[in-house]
Chains A and B, each alone.
Chain A
Amino acid sequence: GAGVSQSPSNKVTEKGKDVELRCDPISGHTALYWYRQSLGQGLEFLIYFQGNSAPDKSGLPSDRFSAERTGGSVSTLTIQRTQQEDSAVYLCASSSNWGETQYFGPGTRLLVL
């Protein structure tokens, strides 16, 4: 079956613009995760959804970041007023349930000029 898909694969934007990153999880997976990976660094946990709910949003780096999930499927990560330090690869993963094996999408490479 299809794996996790993300779009766009690459995004170049100017400082101060808003961007939306999309994640389409594996069908039937109830848990969805967003991570950020800066060049040469590990994964930074951003947020987790169980169904459409995000129990804890404290992992989001600032109030410029928001995420939503609709219909228990597609999720969107929005970054408002982008800054250069937001440049990173944004990875989405899904699992059948919390704590189970996570399957990662290919990521969105964001570059803020």
Chain B
Amino acid sequence: QKEVEQNSGPLSVPEGAIASLNCTYSDRGSQSFFWYRQYSGKSPELIMSIYSNGDKEDGRFTAQLNKASQYVSLLIRDSQPSDSATYLCAVNIEFNKFYFGSGTKLNVKP
């Protein structure tokens, strides 16, 4: 079992719809959780960070964390074609290690 798991996709949604991206992790002791967006050929850039159970909203983005279920998700409301990218979930599993999922590719169709 990988430390961080994501569905590789592609996830296709129409413009204006809600895109839901999911991530599960293996270590119950994990404290910090991040969602990064990576356009093709570019470096990852931070979308959201979340540290506590519940929801955290920032504009069109909402991160949801459920530590009991070891689950973190990212919702993108009013999806735009410019949101088309690969979304990476990242978790610090151990004090000295930081793990990324393999990413979910999102396609937003005009």
Residues of A within 8 A of B (CB): 33, 35, 41-43, 45, 48, 55-56, 59, 91, 98-107
Contacts and interface: CB of A to CB of B under 8 A. Distances in A.
A96 to B, nearest CB: 12
Interface residues of B, number: 21
B99 A45 contact: yes
Interface string B70-110: 00000000000000000010101011111111110000000
Contacts of A103: 46
Contacts, number: 47
Contacts of B43: 91, 104-107
Interface in B19-64: 31-32, 34, 43-46, 49
Nearest to B96: A56
Most buried by A among B31, B34, B44: B44
Given A101-B46, A106-B43, A42 B101 contact: yes
A24 to B, nearest CB: 14
A99 B100 contact: no
Contacts of B98: 33, 45, 48, 102
Most buried by B among A99, A100, A105: A99
Contact of B88 (A42, A56, A99, A100): A42
A43 B88 contact: yes
A35 B43 CA distance: 11
B102 A59 contact: no
B88 A98 contact: no
A66 B100 CA distance: 21
Q: Which 9 A-B residue pairings sit nearest by Cβ, starting from the closest?
A: A42-B102, A56-B96, A43-B100, A104-B43, A99-B32, A55-B96, A42-B100, A45-B98, A101-B46
19 contacts: A35-B100, A41-B102, A42-B102, A43-B44, A43-B90, A45-B97, A55-B96, A59-B97, A91-B43, A91-B44, A98-B92, A99-B92, A101-B34, A101-B46, A102-B46, A102-B98, A104-B45, A106-B43, A107-B43
